[in-house]
């Protein structure tokens, strides 16, 4: 099957990371949350080195708590409070429209919770708005593995690219001559935490 390779590429200056509802009160309820967190920390730290802009949302934080302290969200846009499941609120859509040097990004990298609820709803809205969406499977989860895996399959069906954290990092890095290569190399020396993605034989 022919693909448009240009749509799979991630580029500095044309990509943004959305962190969806990685909040304190979810920690004990989510499948493989600790491992998802470790992978997300590595991804966020790498993307900060690569100057990828970041937008953070929090679902009803008065009830569900703030973004987990393991994630460095200093300097990001947000956190934006929301009650709707999609991150595509008017406030976040406004940020997206100018976040890449006054322009909207070509690609959105999506991580967080829950895969079958807020992540999937966000992915649908982003695809409908014409964005290329890279859902980072080892940085997304749900309360159950079943919901997580089926959500990733559905997102693939609507045209999302199902990626892993290191896949995203190296697509953005692009070249071993990149000035941040050695710093990125230090981050990726920590192995990605296995989160049962091998089950995704159909993806």
CATH code given to domain 12-191? 3.40.50.850
Residue 58 backbone phi and psi in degrees, to 5:
-135, 125
pLDDT of residue 196: 84
pLDDT digits (tens, 9 = 90+) for 27-42: 999 999 999 999 999 9
The dihedral sign for the CA sequence 26, 29, 34, 35: negative
Helix or strand run (H / E) with residue 141: strand 132-141
pLDDT band, very low/low/confident/very high, at 1 (cuts 50, 70, 90): very low
CB atoms within 10 A of CB 7: 11
Give the confidence band of 151 by pLDDT, cuts at 50, 70, 90.
very high
Residue 91 has pLDDT above 80, yes or no: yes
DSSP 8-class letter at 201: T
Task: Give residue-wise pLDDT tens across range 58-70.
Answer: 999 999 999 999 9
Closest alpha carbon to 73 in 95, 101, 40: 40
Report the relative pairing of strands 15-20 and 54-59 from DSSP bridges: parallel
Average pLDDT on 155-174 reads 96
Catalytic residues, by residue number, are 21, 82, 118
List Cα–Cα distances, 21 to 58, 71, 147, 158, 176, in angstroms.
5, 12, 17, 22, 33
> Which residues, in sequence order, are CB contacts of 77 under 8 Å at separation 6+?
53, 54, 55, 56, 95, 99
Residue 201 clears pLDDT 70, i.e. is over it: no
Q: Is residue 159 scored above 80 in pLDDT? A: yes
The C-alpha atoms of residue 141 and residue 60 are separated, in whole angstroms, by 19
Which pTM was predicted? Answer: 0.93
| Domain chopping of the chain, boundaries | 12-191
**Per-residue confidence at 24, pLDDT binned at 50, 70, 90?**
very high
């Amino acid at each position: 099957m022919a693909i448009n390779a240009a749509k799979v590429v991630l580029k500095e200056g044309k990509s943004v990371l959305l962190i969806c509802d990685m909040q304190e009160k979810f920690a004990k309820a989510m499948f493989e949350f600790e491992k998802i967190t470790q992978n997300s920390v590595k991804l966020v730290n790498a993307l900060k080195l690569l100057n990828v802009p970041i937008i953070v949302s929090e679902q009803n934080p008065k009830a569900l708590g703030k973004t987990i302290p393991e994630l460095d969200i200093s300097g990001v846009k947000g956190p934006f409070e929301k009650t709707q499941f999609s991150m595509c609120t008017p406030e976040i859509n406004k940020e997206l429209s100018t976040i890449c040097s006054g322009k909207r990004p070509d690609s959105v990298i999506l991580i967080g919770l829950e895969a079958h609820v807020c992540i999937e709803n966000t992915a649908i809205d982003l695809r409908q708005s014409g964005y290329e969406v890279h859902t980072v499977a080892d940085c997304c989860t749900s309360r159950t593995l079943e919901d997580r895996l089926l959500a990733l399959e559905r997102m693939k069906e609507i045209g999302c690219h199902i990626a892993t954290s290191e896949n995203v990092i190296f697509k953005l890095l692009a070249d071993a001559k990149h000035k941040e290569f050695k710093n990125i190399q230090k981050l990726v020396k920590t192995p990605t935490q296995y989160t049962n993605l091998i089950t995704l034989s159909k993806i």
